[in-house]
Amino acid sequence: MLKPFPDACFEALKSMVLKKAGLDFTETSILQTMITMQTGHQLSLHALNKAFGVTPARFKPSPYTLDILALFCGYNNWAHFCQDR
């Protein structure tokens, strides 16, 4: 059984990522580089574009994407970010 996806947490995470990066949601290629340089992990442009609504997404972001975005914002992972909200 899948756990409910906390949309409010995800919206807060996206806002924090963009604020930290000093970017808007259309600059995902710059964000991709910043995330890789800071975390040592890579997210595809496709994953970032879907997460930030640049391209349509049929599914919620993967746990990996959520963990890396949270890591970029200084949290251990997605669960840690949601607990701190």
Q: Where are the domains of the chain?
A: 7-84
pTM of the full predicted structure?
A: 0.87
pLDDT tens string, the chain, 85 residues long: the values are 445 678 889 999 999 998 999 887 778 899 999 999 999 999 999 999 999 988 899 999 999 999 999 999 999 999 999 998 7
pLDDT on residue 3: 58
According to DSSP, residue 54 is labeled S
Q: Phi and psi of 46, rounded to 5°?
A: -60, -45
CB atoms within 10 A of CB 72: 22
Q: What angle do CA 68, 7, 11 make, to 5 degrees?
A: 60
pLDDT on residue 23: 82
Q: Report whether 16 contacts 8 (CB < 8 A).
A: no
